[in-house]
Structure formats: structure tokens, C-alpha cells
């Protein structure tokens, strides 16, 4: 398996190079030349495989470096050491709960997988690396937790001031040590632009051995494909149509699902659930992609006006819109309707869902109403623990969400961050001034 730049297919990389670089030398994203296929016998035998065994089999297909099987198994065991249960909401709808990792968000899957591989490679190379990561919420805390105190790796997390929840901010700003939190006076897209510019800045690269922990890094996407298989395994009956509704911001989670489908998982349809940051939803309907300024919403991890992984989706489908819409539907939903859906699920089904999952639930319902698929099972991806949005849920449901011990601990810690403007020259000056 070789990897290439989305800007130039003649630029190619090994798996190790792809992970350690994060971004191609020409600023493009890194993609596999093809997405391999799992054996049908393995897919038919998912019920007899553990989550870690599924992850091991998929990982082998994407790795072209000579990692001994026992070392790969150890990496998987350390990274994927929590569950992804499918909660049965009703006879044809399930909610895939992806918040059972250490920071209570789906980003733990990708962050921990990447951290373990980078730790393996850094140890083998006897080298140091520096990670730049932009976050709209949960990525920052997951990366901070996954990389905390790993020797030879320093992490710089850029997050938009005032645009992440209180819990999310505490989770990503209270580590210290090898984790530096940068509070940027701008949007997530501004944070992402700073990261991208740094990657192609000669002065920065002379000082730092840079890589990224965003979903621009292919190592984030591969492990996110694992839980689509784990979800499918838990659908106990046969259905003609299996549909995944995916909260979509930077489109990494959706892209990972498309990887799973190309690997051979029989998924009928993906629904890209947008909030009012709906550039992708508009593309699906109009064939025209136009980035937009980011708008702040209650589903903040989806507040992305210019999703990076859009280019990866184009590459998967050879930039053919008609092929994309065969597999992907999309709709967007307001904060007002998101709040209504949270209330509805709590009162009708006694299920407490976070705003991102609520958007996915709305999108699934709209698709079912409009398309009327036969003998279907819909899976809603619940990407964060509802306690991360306690203030929102308390206001609309008049309840206090029980806080897990890990969040209580984070809230008790002192915030450690540096405020910077979104001006690249000042960000560059800050990085170059670091010892």
C-alpha cells in the first residue's frame, strides 16, 4: 500500500511517512492509492470477531511497513481498549455510542491509534516530532489525552476562543507538560488555516519536525472505519438497507465510513448530517462546492465552513458527483430543531442525546420520510457524551446530567493556555520563539 498527495499523485509515501508527515510536502492531503478489500468470509464472520480483532485485520491492509504482527497487535490493544455499543432505540434504529473513551468522544479512536503508532515510530527512529492540531471541540481533548507525557512528542493545540464548550476547553487546556493549548481569536477554519500555512513554511520546518493530528492525518481516518464494522456486527437481524447518519463537520467521520464501505461493508447509504454550516449539504444538492464563513452553533464540533476532507471524498469517487450522491445523502438542521429533537428523544424514548447526535437523528428521519427505504436499519452516530453539553441540556430539559469522574476532574483543573490572534505572522513568531 502506497499513499499519494491529493495535489499530485506522483508524490508518494509509505504508511510511516504518511502518519509522520500528516500533510503532503505540497500541502495536499495524503490518500491511499486504492482502498483495499477485506475478505468476504471475514465480513460474514464479524459476529465471531472482537472489536480489536476487526481493527487488527483492517489495519494490516493499510500498513506497508514491516511492523511485526505482535507489535501491531500491541498497538491495537492499547489504542482500541474501550467499547462502541449500539443502543437499540427501536426496532429499526440504533444509536452507536462512540463516547466510551477517556475523553468521552469519538475522536478518542483516531487520536489513540495515531499516538500509539507515532510513539512506535519515534522510538524506532530515536527522533522527536512536533504536532500541530486545530480543533472545533473534541479533537483537542482527545489528542491531548492520547499524547500526554509521550517522550519525544510535543503537541500544539489551536482552538477558537469562545467557540468550544466549557467542558471541552477544560479537557484540552489542563494538561501542560508536552501539551500546549493556543486560544485563537477566530473560528475553527482560522485555526486550521494557521496549521496548514505552518506545514508549508520553510522557516517553521527548519526548526520543527511537524506532523498533524487533525483528520487531515490519514491515521485519524483508518481507525474510525473500525467502528462502522463494529456497529454492523451488532445489528442482529437481516435488513435490505443499512443506513448510517453521520454528524458532519470536517467530514473525517464520513470519509472513514466511506473507507468502510469500500473495504466491503454492505452499507446502503450514508447521510451527512450538517448544522447550518452546510457547505457539503449544498454540494450534494447542487454539484457546487462553496466554502462559507463559520457560524457558531450548539453542535460546535460541526462548525466548519470549509471542510478539509471534502477533497478526499472527491478522490474516492474520482470527482464524479453522480457517484457520490449514489452513496451519500445530506441535509442540514437548525439549532432550534436540534433542541426540539433532544427534547423529543428524551421524553419519548428516555434517551439523552448530545446536539451532534440530535442533528444526525433529524437527518435520518428526514431521509426516511423523503426516500421511504424498505426493510431498513438506521444507525445514528452519537459522537460525544451528553454531559459535555450539560449547560444546553439543563436549560431545555431542566435536568442535571450526571458528570463522569473524568469530566469532574477536568473541571477542577486550572486552565493553561496562550491567547493569540488569527494573524499567521504572530503565530509563526510564537512558534519560532519556543525553545
Are the C-beta atoms of residues 376 and 242 closer than 8 Å to each other?
A: yes
Share of the chain residues as helix, strand and coil, in percent rounded to the nearest 5:
50, 20, 35
Partnered with residue 418 across adjacent β-strands are: 182
Cα Rg, the chain, nearest whole Å: 20
Work out whether the CA dihedral 8, 278, 373, 235 comes out positive or negative.
positive
- Left (φ > 0), alpha (ψ -120 to 50) or beta: where does 375 sit? left
The grid cell for 422 is 488569527
Output the DSSP codes for 132-186. Answer: EEE-SSHHHHHHHHHHTT-TTEEEEEEEETTSS-HHHHHHHHS--TTEEEEEEES
The DSSP secondary structure of 175-190, one letter per residue, reads --TTEEEEEEES-HHH
Q: Judge whether 417 and 173 are in contact, CB under 8 Å.
A: yes
User: What angle do helix axes 69-79 and 107-125 make, rounded to 10 degrees?
Assistant: 140
CB 61 within 8 A of CB 36: yes
The SS3 call for residue 38 is: coil
Cβ atoms 251, 280 nearer than 8 A: yes
Question: What nine digits make up the cell of 177?
Answer: 507538560
Q: Please state, in angstroms and as integers, the Cα–Cα distance from residue 412 to each residue in 176, 308, 409, 415, following that order.
A: 15, 34, 5, 9
Q: Which three cell numbers stand for residue 333?
A: 438542521
Reply yes or no on whether 107 is catalytic. Answer: yes
CA 401 to chain centre: 24
Which one of the listed residues 107, 170, 196, 388 is annotated catalytic? Answer: 107
Residue positions annotated with a catalytic role: 107
Amino acid at each position: 500500500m502506497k499513499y499519494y498527495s491529493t495535489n499530485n499523485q506522483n508524490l508518494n509515501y509509505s504508511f510511516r511517512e504518511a502518519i509522520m508527515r500528516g500533510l503532503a510536502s505540497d500541502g495536499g492531503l495524503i490518500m491511499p492509492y486504492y482502498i483495499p478489500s477485506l475478505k468476504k468470509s471475514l465480513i460474514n464472520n464479524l459476529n465471531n470477531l472482537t472489536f480489536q480483532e476487526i481493527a487488527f485485520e483492517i489495519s494490516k491492509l493499510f500498513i506497508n511497513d514491516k511492523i511485526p504482527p505482535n507489535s501491531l497487535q500491541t498497538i491495537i490493544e492499547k489504542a482500541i481498549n474501550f467499547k462502541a455499543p449500539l443502543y437499540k432505540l427501536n426496532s429499526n434504529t440504533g444509536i452507536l455510542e462512540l463516547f466510551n473513551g477517556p475523553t468521552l468522544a469519538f475522536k478518542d479512536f483516531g487520536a489513540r491509534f495515531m499516538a500509539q503508532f507515532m510513539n512506535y515510530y519515534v522510538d524506532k527512529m530515536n527522533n522527536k516530532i512536533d504536532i500541530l492540531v486545530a480543533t472545533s471541540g473534541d479533537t483537542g481533548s482527545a489528542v491531548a489525552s492520547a499524547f500526554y507525557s509521550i517522550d519525544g512528542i510535543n503537541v500544539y493545540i489551536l482552538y477558537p476562543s469562545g467557540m468550544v464548550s466549557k467542558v471541552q476547553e477544560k479537557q484540552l487546556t489542563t494538561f501542560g507538560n508536552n501539551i500546549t493549548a493556543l486560544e485563537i481569536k477566530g473560528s475553527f477554519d482560522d485555526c486550521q488555516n494557521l496549521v496548514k500555512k505552518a506545514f508549508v513554511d520553510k522557516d517553521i520546518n527548519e526548526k520543527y519536525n511537524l506532523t498533524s493530528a487533525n483528520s487531515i492525518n490519514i491515521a485519524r481516518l483508518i481507525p474510525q472505519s473500525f467502528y462502522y464494522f463494529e456497529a454492523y456486527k451488532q445489528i442482529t437481524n437481516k435488513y435490505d438497507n443499512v443506513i448510517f447518519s453521520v454528524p458532519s463537520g470536517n467530514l473525517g467521520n464520513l470519509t472513514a465510513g466511506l473507507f468502510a464501505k469500500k473495504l466491503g461493508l454492505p452499507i446502503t447509504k450514508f447521510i451527512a448530517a450538517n448544522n447550518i454550516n452546510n457547505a457539503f449539504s449544498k454540494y450534494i444538492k447542487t454539484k457546487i462546492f462553496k466554502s462559507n464563513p463559520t457560524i457558531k452553533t450548539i453542535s460546535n464540533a460541526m462548525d466548519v465552513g470549509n471542510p478539509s476532507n471534502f477533497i478526499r471524498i472527491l478522490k474516492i469517487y474520482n470527482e464524479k458527483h453522480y457517484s457520490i450522491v449514489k452513496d451519500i445523502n445530506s441535509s442540514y438542521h437548525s439549532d432550534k430543531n436540534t433542541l426540539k429533537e433532544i427534547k423529543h428523544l428524551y421524553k419519548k424514548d428516555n434517551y439523552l442525546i448530545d446536539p451532534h447526535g440530535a442533528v444526525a437523528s433529524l437527518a435520518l428521519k428526514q431521509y426516511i420520510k423523503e426516500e421511504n427505504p424498505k426493510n431498513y436499519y438506521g444507525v445514528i452516530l452519537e459522537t460525544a457524551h451528553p454531559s459535555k453539553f450539560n449547560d444546553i441540556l439543563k436549560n431545555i430539559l431542566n435536568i442535571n446530567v450526571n458528570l463522569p469522574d473524568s469530566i469532574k476532574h477536568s473541571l477542577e483543573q486550572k486552565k493553561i493556555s496562550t491567547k493569540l490572534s488569527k494573524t499567521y505572522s504572530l503565530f509563526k513568531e510564537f512558534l519560532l520563539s519556543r525553545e
